[in-house]
Structure 1
Amino acid sequence: MTGTLTGVGLGPGDPKLVTMAGVEALQNADTVYAPVSVTTEGEGFAEKILSAYVAPERVVRLPFALRGPEREESWRDAARVVAEPLRDGGRLAFATIGDPNTYSTFTYLAREVADLVPGAAVDTVPGVTAASLLASRAGTVLCEHDEPLTIVPATAGEDVLDRALAGEGTVVIYKGGRHFDRLAEKIEATGRVREIAFGTRLGTEGESVSKSLPQGREHYLSTVIVRLKENGAHG
């Protein structure tokens, strides 16, 4: 019988924000896989959170390339590592920052694993998102009444961002990083900002939260909440 692979959301960074279901999945797993960037030196982000709940000898690193031609190959390499114990019936957990179903490396890994081990059980344990934590820290809400909520990564390009900011309700922007100088310009140009919140390194010692956007580059793990006035309401 094949085993089970569970993507476990670790939340934004604070070990206390890992859910009880997430802790249970991590502690019941035979092996816990932690994604790290190929450029990471020392302990990775996910590994720091895991250290609160999982002994280091039960954690296996899986290096991933974030961009370039090596990106997809790193997914395949990781899937091959996971596939072997999965075929032998292992209970495996993959720890991912945030939520495993929201812009997560786990999505790509799960697809590759499904091709290598047909019939293997793959499931997820949801995690607290950076947007939820930022709304809490900034004393705001993500949406209310009938307002829509749109989530976009800044890396998706200017057209995607423009369409989101031309809509209604609230726009959450992930992965701002080096794009923040342009983000600030675009958001201000709408003339429809009702409220804004910015957060970087949420849930870590370096956390920073403000009610305005910074200028220039910021950490890759940065989040913006933009609550918009209704179209035509510029007062």
Structure 2
Amino acid sequence: MRDVTTGKKSSTRPFVGPTTRSSTRPRLIGVGVGPGDPELVTVKALHALAGADVVLVPATEGSGDGAGRAETIVTQACPSAAPTIQRIPFSMADRSGISGRRKQAWLDSAEAAISAFESGADVVAFATVGDPSVYSTFSYLAAHVVERLQEVEVEVIPGITAMQALAARSRTPLVEGTETLALVPITAGLEVLGRVLDTVDTVVAYKGGRHLPEVVELLRRRGRDGVLGVQIGLDDEQLVTLTDVDEGRRAPYFSTVLVPAQRSGTGGRL
């Protein structure tokens, strides 16, 4: 294991909280590293990254030969993990469905983890933007690894999600009192978003950048407003109210739309 501050191997595992269990089994850890700001990486995530023998990170078409978002967060938040990083190609060209490229990325990630374990690694971490349990490829990777190596123990370390970061940055409460909250991927269809808007108080939409004009029009027809977050937590972050979105504007895939509940006053839904 590596010390989180020095990057040197230590004989004891770093303290990561009272719920941590000791185990002699090899461990695959899905580590949520948040939306972009390295200061939003949790202490437990830092210890997991520093203690891993191999840290897998996704590399997409957008990052080219450079570091992707997850890798950038990891190296900024935990520099000692840099020598252990291994990039795994991921394609963002396929927005939905189990395409050949998408399935191959899962298999390649699993094979990288399996190869690391077979080479003697005790701990392999997979760093994922946001949270490993929210629209992350980690669950697919883990399923493939456990299918091949049943002795591997899987652990998940949660991370700050884009909707939490956007709510904080825009000072927009997600839910109050008895309000309900829904998270909708625009890839599920605008009809789905419309039905959710009609039944849920606060709605957050992911994966909708290229459909932003349609999303804005849908909200305006319902008399709803919200905030668009682009590159949350990064230097080029943008926060724009939907009423100020230019007609026809599109946004990157990793954009977030937050449509808050319609509130009549402070504490009105308590």
Normalised TM-score (structure 1): 0.91
Partner of 2:33: 10
Greater than 3 Å deviation, 4+ residue runs: none
Q: Establish whether residue 124 from structure 1 lines up as the match of residue 156 from structure 2.
A: yes
Q: Establish whether residue 198 from structure 1 lines up as the match of residue 223 from structure 2.
A: no
The one-letter code matched in structure 1 to 2:74 is L
Does the 8 Å contact 2:31/2:156 carry over to 1?
yes
Q: Establish whether residue 177 from structure 1 lines up as the match of residue 209 from structure 2.
A: yes
CA RMSD, Structure 1 to Structure 2 (Å): 1.7
Structure 2 gap segments, 5+ residues each: 1-23, 264-270
1:54 to 79, 98, 101: 79
The one-letter code matched in structure 2 to 1:150 is A
1:142-221 to 2 correspondences below 5 Å: 142-191=174-223, 193=224, 195-212=225-242, 214=245, 215=247, 216-221=249-254
Q: CA deviation at 1:74?
A: 1.4
Partner of 1:233: none
| Partner Cα distance (1:57, 1:24) in 2 | 15
Higher RCO structure, 1 or 2 (CA under 8 Å, sep 6+): 1
Q: CA deviation at 1:159?
A: 2.4
| Partner Cα distance (2:55, 2:31) in 1 | 10
Percent of aligned positions with the same letter in both sequences? 38
Which structure is higher in strand share?
1
Larger radius of gyration: 2
2:112 to 81, 85, 92: 81
1:190-221 superposed Cα distances (whole Å, 9 cap, x missing partner): 23x2x512110000011011222524211111
**Pairs aligned (count):** 228
1:34-45 to 2 correspondences below 5 Å: 34-38=57-61, 40-41=63-64, 42-45=66-69
Does the 8 Å contact 2:26/2:151 carry over to 1?
no
Partner of 2:10: none
Normalised TM-score (structure 2): 0.80
Q: CA deviation at 1:79?
A: 0.5
Q: CA deviation at 1:2?
A: 4.5
Does the 8 Å contact 1:135/1:197 carry over to 2?
no
